Amino acid sequence: MSEGVRTLSVNEPRLIRKCIAEAIGTFALVFAGTGAIVINETSHGAITHVGIALTFGLIVLAMIYTLGDISGAHINPAVTIGFWFSRKLPAREVLPYIASQCVGALAASGVMRLLFPENRLLGATQPSGPVLQSFVLEFLLTALLMFVILGVSTGAREKGITAGIVVGSVIALEAMFAGPISGASMNPARSLGPAIVSGELAALWIYLAAPVLGSALGVIGCRCVREPGCCTATP
């Protein structure tokens, strides 16, 4: 009993550092990404859609190299759930990670509201077409993202070194081609922050549910190619 208490007390400071890292990383993602959207609207298209997509990819790349050795730089509840589902994250860390990510996202959107009070959406993700269309897009985009993340985090050491470039590139790529339709969120926290602060909640369920389901599919896909006979295994 005393050994278990001692282990918990040793791990608590480490978990706190991880949660702080996740909050900061998600703050940076939402601040830079939605900031690019808001400033593009304010400047009448100066940043462009390609610029917005690159902003999201580059900030994720930067956060992976800055915080990856501390928390893994998930900065995305769907990724956190995916790592748990793939048995790479202890269950006790899932809720603290997700809570920290949501706090970071809300804080970033709060800052954007202070800086641009006239902006209505604050970069919130909303479907531009049928709801099902955006749901399927978000589902598949996140599945591909999680598949890639697991691939570079469990593969050769050389791929581990370039993980930030690979993941950031995939996010930028997906944002480029799917952003005009679904917003290419792939991240419940990224959508939650601006939706709550702006009050635009009607489509939020799409961006909470689809990425989580897509993440699970990405984990299963990775198992199918990396663990023969284990693609239907449960965590």
Maximum C-alpha span of the chain: 63
The mean pLDDT of 197-206, rounded to a whole number, is: 96
Q: How far apart are CA 95 and CA 133, in angstroms?
A: 30
pLDDT averaged over the chain?
A: 91
pLDDT in tens, 87-145: 999 999 999 999 999 999 999 999 999 999 999 999 999 999 999 999 999 999 999 99
Whole-number Å distance between alpha carbons of 162 and 150? 13
Q: Residues of the chain with pLDDT > 70: what percent?
A: 89
pLDDT at 162: 86
Percent of the chain with pLDDT over 90: 83
What are the domain boundaries of the chain? 11-226
Residue 2: band (very low, low, confident or very high) from pLDDT cuts 50, 70, 90: very low
Residue 155 binned pLDDT confidence (cut-offs 50, 70, 90): low
CATH code matching the domain that covers 11-226, chosen among 1.10.357.10, 2.40.50.140, 1.20.1080.10, 3.20.20.70: 1.20.1080.10
Residue 157 pLDDT > 60? no
Q: What is the 3-state secondary structure (H, E, C) of 100-160?
A: HHHHHHHHHHHHHHHHCCCCCCCCCCCCCCCHHHHHHHHHHHHHHHHHHHHHHHHCCHHHH
Distance in angstroms (rounded) separating the CA atoms of residues 113 and 195: 12
pLDDT of residue 161: 73
Could you tell me which residue, 152 or 5, shows the higher pLDDT?
A: 152
Specify the pLDDT at position 133: 97
| CA–CA gap between residue 175 and residue 1 (Å, rounded) | 50
Q: What is the pTM of this model?
A: 0.90
Report the chain's terminal Cα–Cα distance, integer Å: 27
